[in-house]
Structure 1
């Protein structure tokens, strides 16, 4: 069902997946569980509570998530969460990498200061499945370095994480391998070893957030296809959580079909 809304000539698009009980989640624990504590027929009000981690659904990480003694969510300048940018189509299949060359050749052209949303096509496959989480494409070090050097403001992807799945603990990185069968599967599928292609644990996370101070949004989706190939205004705000290492975000895109609307300078 389309969620696009038009108001005062501007079109507003939702770029987030639904969040809540039984949503697809990255293969780690704990999951998000929602309990109904009060309901109208019994209590006259409706109230729920949830338990779980905030690295679920469409969400943003902070540098502290991947590197000690680095900023939390409130370490990002709030100006990074709102601005002009592009949604670009970079179609990718199983285990393919979003490269610096892909980003350089993307249209509309990515410019310094842009917010960038990357559409690989994977958001259409969101499910509690290996296809979406274990066999996903993703970005790695060279693509992340390109985004930092370009000076983008914020970046979002319609894939499972800020890194390629073969750079995560699913294989022999960090706390892994949690999915050791993927190591042999990757070798059979590509003819190469995982550690040869992805020697560093979550390199893109660290390059983007720690080196570049760039917020990265995982699991972008919703109406992403409707804004792909266009220059838009984007916004995505995490919680004001001084100790936070991650937070769900509602990602929005706004387009003026006539390309006439501008935000007043306030001068």
Structure 2
């Protein structure tokens, strides 16, 4: 049986990448060229830890929260379900209850916002407290969204972040799902081991699960 191919759902990191207003944009330069060193090119990047596809650590929004290196790696590797929530304007209990989430540990949500890494959307659906609580009751341990944040860009309270933390649900943001069909996949979205980090860029990839991998 042929193995399914991995699908990259990460935003490419380049100087055109949209960034949160006021945050540090991504920039890459070849700091030293092969002509200068005599042997190699050496690049340097400057970036916010929340550039592109990334994981939020609880310390990002809670001074007493865990840093990125404290998070359980098992959260970011394993079976995930992709759902199409593009007909909903909020990621709330009503929205999530439309989908079968029985046995789902990792959930990736396609929203109504088109994937466009060079454009920062002014508005996008956010996770509500009731939505986070519903996911917690269903046993979800990670949510990934295809927008820059699980909270509205104007929010200062970050109720979605805090509600997800209360329910022990990890946060993955800015995944690219426009061309991904609903269904079950294997996910790998490992954050970098940044010891004091409040977040980390990730290379998020998925591949469809074959029937025997689903236990069917």
TM-score (norm 2): 0.89
Q: In structure 2, which of residues 68, 76, 82 is the aligned counterpart of residue 87 of structure 1?
A: 82
Give the C-alpha shift of residue 235 in structure 1. 1.5
**Which residue number in structure 1 is paired with residue 49 of structure 2?**
54
**Which residue number in structure 2 is paired with residue 260 of structure 1?**
212
Where structure 2 has 5 or more consecutive residues not aligned to the other structure, the ranges are none
Give the C-alpha shift of residue 74 in structure 1. 2.3
SS at match of 2:144: strand
Aligned residues: 214
CA RMSD of aligned residues (A): 2.2
Q: In structure 1, which of residues 63, 66, 69 is the aligned counterpart of residue 61 of structure 2?
A: 66
Report whether the alignment pairs 1:17 with 2:8: no
**Which residue number in structure 1 is paired with residue 196 of structure 2?**
243
SS at match of 1:102: helix
SS at match of 2:75: helix
SS at match of 1:74: helix
Q: In structure 2, which of residues 164, 167, 177 is the aligned counterpart of residue 212 of structure 1?
A: 167
**Which residue number in structure 1 is paired with residue 146 of structure 2?**
158
Give the C-alpha shift of residue 28 in structure 1. 2.1
Instruction: Work out the CA distance in 1 between the residues paired with 2:24 and 2:154.
Output: 21
- Compare the two structures and name the one with the higher helix fraction: 1
**Which residue number in structure 2 is paired with residue 185 of structure 1?**
none
Matched-pair contact (CA < 8 Å) for 1:123–1:220: no
Instruction: Work out the CA distance in 2 between the residues paired with 1:52 and 1:261.
Output: 38
Matched-pair contact (CA < 8 Å) for 1:59–1:247: yes
Task: Pick the structure with greater CA Rg.
Answer: 1
Give the C-alpha shift of residue 113 in structure 1. 4.4
**Which residue number in structure 2 is paired with residue 137 of structure 1?**
125
Matched-pair contact (CA < 8 Å) for 2:56–2:199: yes
Q: 1:24-63 residue pairs with structure 2 within 5 A?
A: 24-43=18-37, 44-63=39-58
SS at match of 1:21: coil
Where structure 1 has 5 or more consecutive residues not aligned to the other structure, the ranges are 1-6, 168-172, 174-200
Q: In structure 2, which of residues 98, 120, 138 is the aligned counterpart of residue 105 of structure 1?
A: 98
TM-score (norm 1): 0.73
Matched-pair contact (CA < 8 Å) for 1:137–1:165: no
